[in-house]
Amino acid sequence: MGLLEGIDGPADVKAIPAERLDDLAAEIRAFLVDSVSRTGGHLGPNLGVVELTIALHRVFDSPRDAIVLDTGHQSYVHKLLTGRRDFSKLKKQGGLSGYPSRAESVHDVVESSHASTSLSWAEGIAKARVLSGQGDRHTVAVIGDGALTGGMAWEALNNIAVDKDLPLVIVVNDNERSYAPTIGGLADHLAALRTTRTYERMLDWGKDTLQHTPVVGQAMFETLHGVKKGLKDIVAPQGMFEDLGLKYVGPVDGHDIPAVEQALTRARDFGGPVLVHVITQKGRGYQPALEDLADHMHGIGKINPETGLPFEVSGRIWTDEFADEMVRIGKERPDVVAITAAMLIPVGLDKFAAAYPERVFDVGIAEQHAITMAAGLSFGGMHPIVAIYSTFLNRAFDQLLMEAALHKQGITLVLDRAGITGSDGPSHNGMWDMAIASIVPGLRLAAPRDGEQVVRQVREALDVDDAPTVVRFPKGDVAEPLTAVAQRGGLDILRDTPDAPDVLLVGVGAMCATALGVAEKLAAQGITSRVVDPRWVLPISSALVDEARTAGQVVVIEDGLVTNGVGQALSFALRESTVRTPLRTFGVPQEFLQHASRGQVLDAIGLTPDVIATKLIADLL
């Protein structure tokens, strides 16, 4: 039996002889490559934290000591060492979550996979334990160098540093590329810290190899020492953390288990907050991941484990439409600039960056800064496009409201992975964006129904220079073009009827295809319908109100929250215009949706043509 098969919890990890730990690390890597290549998931980050996670569970006593992982995509090794070895349904319905999950284990503390939150969580946990007389319990926050670019992490550090007795250990997992290569002043600072290891080794070499030639050896030693001291005086790398009041330990080779254990033990026994700087290699032990400069191995689908290549080449996705159009726009409009929050490639800005590198700004994991910076760029005469995942707009609502909308700045937010994303779980579904946007004065929101509309509506958004605009589209393969049979008042009519329809079906974005499916099923029962795509769904247009005025019933189908979504906005607009046509909305319920495929989630919440049509027919017949 292998070592991994005998691990049911942290106590088993502690019991493994030190000389067998490298064997355990090798087993874990082999398991990860084999399992994740079958299911898909976050491979590169987990290959990089194998030894670090082993050391954490040997030094600390989870769950008595809380281990908070930031972000949770590095949790696979932690799951294995806490007894969860069935990865056969990873990220699938009924299987393990791709992130920490309280429902799975008492060892999982924080479920959200949004970055930069671990230090605030950890400070709160540690303070609570001290206040309740449990100061002998430790709290550990493991934060990547990329997540450390987030402003919330520094807000927490500012407070942690003043509590000299707090039993809190901060582990900075520094692999230079938490998602993509980490950039900015912090990245430069960590690079300087990594550089100091070279001079430590030079100094050791001077001691060890020249000791038998005293004159030359001493001279060389003094020279090396002077170089090292001079460089440290110049960059003072650990000074930034120590000046804040944090004890700094490192840098430590994150793949040397004894070294990591020693550093963590020192930190645990210090008696106050300590930052341990651990250097790891993303994708360690798997050559395709090590050679993956584009970070395709960060999160993968099913791949051939021998080559690292996908078994199936994916088709054209929604993001591709935006990516190609951005290059064309860049050539035509020198005022268009782009901002990304540490996700240049996933949001499709890599092609634009290659063509116009001086017009792309990667701000790190800092969505609040991204939107406020965009407002400033707009004021300065540019039209910025902020491209982020829909779920991450949640983090920057105040900036959207108070910095962009209040100041009437012409910025465009392009929200990838809007609606139901599925397998990444509750924190990654893009189901809140329309509800958030609906209460922002002056904001206009477009929901393209297909790739052609992505191209058109991004360009339309760029023509708005006195208010923020939002263009949202889902994850996955782009929808087939849906041709309008007529256009009225800015609305695209996708299916029409010569007389007043029994049902006016309003499709929002990708839900237009669902609305057409519902219309077919209604027609089979003799119920007439008209299907419209408002295109710009917020604010509600007067043309859409007019269409509702003559219909027997209005049905809105949207892949955002029913609460405060497009349907609710239309309901309010109808009441304001004294239109008494009854309205019904089908959308996402106000609850956190557990991981499953997108289709399974849509089916579970009743957002499919069969379910919607069945309910409408029951009401109408």
Residue 426: the pLDDT is 82
Question: Residue 437 is encoded by which pair of tokens?
Answer: 């946007």
> Is residue 9 part of an annotated ligand binding site?
no
Residue 313 resides in a domain: no
Residue 382: the pLDDT is 97
Q: What is the DSSP string of 82-122?
A: TT----TTTTSTTS--SS--TTT-TT-------TT-HHHHH
> Is residue 324 part of an annotated ligand binding site?
no
Return the residue matching tokens 């998931």: 41
Report CA-CA distances (Å) from 112 to 339, 481, 577.
Answer: 24, 35, 42
456 and 490 both lie in a single domain: no
Residue 152: the pLDDT is 87
Task: For residue 541, give the CATH number of its domain.
Answer: 3.40.50.920
d(CA 170, CA 64): 17
User: Of 290, 308, 328, at which residue does a domain stop?
Assistant: 290
99 and 141 both lie in a single domain: yes
**Beta partners for residue 247, in sequence order:** 274
Residue 302 resides in a domain: no
Residue 364: the pLDDT is 87
451 and 419 both lie in a single domain: yes
Could you give the residue numbers annotated as active site? Answer: 282, 367, 395
Look at residues 239, 326, 318, 275 and name the one whose alpha carbon lies nearest to residue 123.
275
> Is residue 73 part of an annotated ligand binding site?
yes
> Is residue 294 part of an annotated ligand binding site?
no
Residue 424: the pLDDT is 80
| Other residues' Cβ atoms within 10 Å of the Cβ of residue 304 | 11
Lowest pLDDT segment from 39-48, 171-180, 189-198: 189-198
Helix (H, G, I), strand (E, B) or coil at 584: strand
245 and 368 both lie in a single domain: no
Q: Write out pLDDT tens, residues 395-409.
A: 999 999 999 999 999
User: Of 472, 501, 525, at which residue does a domain stop?
Assistant: 472
d(CA 386, CA 339): 5
Q: What is the DSSP string of 28-79?
A: HHHHHHHHHHHH-B--HHHHTTHHHHHHHHHHS-TTTSEEEEESGGG-HHHH
> Is residue 296 part of an annotated ligand binding site?
no
Residue 203: the pLDDT is 37
Higher pLDDT, 40 or 180: 40
Residue 586: the pLDDT is 97
547 and 467 both lie in a single domain: no
Q: Write out pLDDT tens, residues 571-581.
A: 999 999 999 99
Residue 72: the pLDDT is 78
Residue 73: the pLDDT is 82
* 264 pLDDT more than 50: yes
Residue 97: the pLDDT is 82
55 and 160 both lie in a single domain: yes
Residue 286: the pLDDT is 78
Highest mean pLDDT among 9-13, 179-183, 221-225: 9-13
110 and 207 both lie in a single domain: yes
* 280 pLDDT more than 50: yes
Higher pLDDT, 315 or 292: 315
> Is residue 565 part of an annotated ligand binding site?
no
510 and 453 both lie in a single domain: no
89 and 213 both lie in a single domain: yes
Highest mean pLDDT among 88-97, 132-141, 177-186: 132-141
Q: How far apart are the first and last CA of the chain?
A: 64
Q: Write out pLDDT tens, residues 295-339.
A: 666 766 776 776 666 766 668 999 999 999 999 999 999 999 999
449 and 514 both lie in a single domain: no
Residue 184 resides in a domain: yes
Question: Residue 606 is encoded by which pair of tokens?
Answer: 């009743």
Q: Reduced to 3 DSSP states, what percent helix, strand and coil does the chain have, rounded to the nearest 5? A: 45, 15, 40
Residue 301 resides in a domain: no
> Is residue 212 part of an annotated ligand binding site?
no
- H-helix or E-strand containing 252? strand 247-253
Residue 200: the pLDDT is 44
Q: Write out pLDDT tens, residues 523-546.
A: 999 999 999 999 999 999 999 999
* Predicted confidence band of residue 18 (pLDDT cuts 50, 70, 90): very high
Q: b/e for 591-603, b at 16 or more Cβ within 10 A?
A: eebbbbebebbbe
d(CA 508, CA 598): 17
369 and 458 both lie in a single domain: yes
Global confidence as pTM:
0.84
CB 169 within 8 A of CB 126: no
Number of domains making up the chain: 3
Residue 184: the pLDDT is 60
63 and 140 both lie in a single domain: yes
Lowest pLDDT segment from 42-46, 154-158, 176-180, 206-210: 206-210
| Other residues' Cβ atoms within 10 Å of the Cβ of residue 90 | 22
Q: In what order do the strands lie in the sheet with 491-495?
A: 486-488, 491-495, 529-533, 503-507, 553-561, 583-588
**Beta partners for residue 588, in sequence order:** 561
> Is residue 597 part of an annotated ligand binding site?
no
Residue 327 resides in a domain: yes
Higher pLDDT, 207 or 155: 155
CB 65 within 8 A of CB 137: yes
Residue 295 resides in a domain: no
Residue range(s) defining the domain that contains residue 188: 4-290
Look at residues 128, 123, 156, 126 and name the one whose alpha carbon lies nearest to residue 138.
126
Q: Write out pLDDT tens, residues 195-251.
A: 554 434 433 434 444 344 444 444 444 444 444 444 343 344 456 677 777 888 888
Report the share of the chain in percent with pLDDT over 90: 62
Residue 141 resides in a domain: yes
d(CA 112, CA 128): 20
* Predicted confidence band of residue 96 (pLDDT cuts 50, 70, 90): confident
Residue 306 resides in a domain: no
d(CA 373, CA 370): 5
Higher pLDDT, 30 or 237: 30
Task: For residue 441, give the CATH number of its domain.
Answer: 3.40.50.970
| Other residues' Cβ atoms within 10 Å of the Cβ of residue 239 | 13
Higher pLDDT, 423 or 167: 167
> Is residue 367 part of an annotated ligand binding site?
yes
Report the share of the chain in percent with pLDDT over 70: 87
| Other residues' Cβ atoms within 10 Å of the Cβ of residue 483 | 8
Mean pLDDT of the chain: 87
Cα–chain center distance at 613: 35
* 441 pLDDT more than 50: yes
Question: Residue 350 is encoded by which pair of tokens?
Answer: 């890599």
d(CA 288, CA 580): 61
In this prediction, residues 588-615 reach a mean pLDDT of 91
Helix (H, G, I), strand (E, B) or coil at 533: strand
d(CA 201, CA 12): 35
> Is residue 115 part of an annotated ligand binding site?
yes
d(CA 439, CA 474): 22
